[in-house]
Amino acid sequence: MILMIDDNREFNELICEFFTENGFTVASALSGEEGFAKAKLLKPRLIFCDIKMPGMDGYEVAQRIRQEETLKDVYLVAITGNVGADCERQSLTAGFDLHLNKPVRLDVFMKILEDLP
């Protein structure tokens, strides 16, 4: 199970469609609050999460996920349009396993899925 959290509806739908077409089960959320709630309910193996979202941003989502005992082993990937070493460092500090800058090529998504621990 993959969870895609991104407030950009078009991007979210496009990536979810890509995963589904490649045989993966995927759920989506359009806000940090919705994403965190779905993560607790669905317990996905992998979460892709945008950083800049209104309300609960991606950093807070990551911190909350890492505090949940049932989600401690989820592989958490930040996806953001923010570039720079500070943004990547902040993502990893918040609890993300990997930081990706938008736009993300589809083959990068597949490589992450293939290499999941």
**Domain annotation for the chain: domains and CATH numbers:** 2-96 (3.40.50.2300)
Share of the chain above pLDDT 90, in %: 81
Residue 96 has a pLDDT of 96
pLDDT at 106 over 80: yes
For the segment 1-49, what is each residue's pLDDT rounded down to a tens digit?
999 999 999 999 999 999 999 999 999 999 999 999 999 999 999 999 9
pLDDT at 101 over 80: yes
Residue 61 has a pLDDT of 97
**How far is the CA of 99 from the CAs of 19, 105, 107, in angstroms?**
19, 14, 16
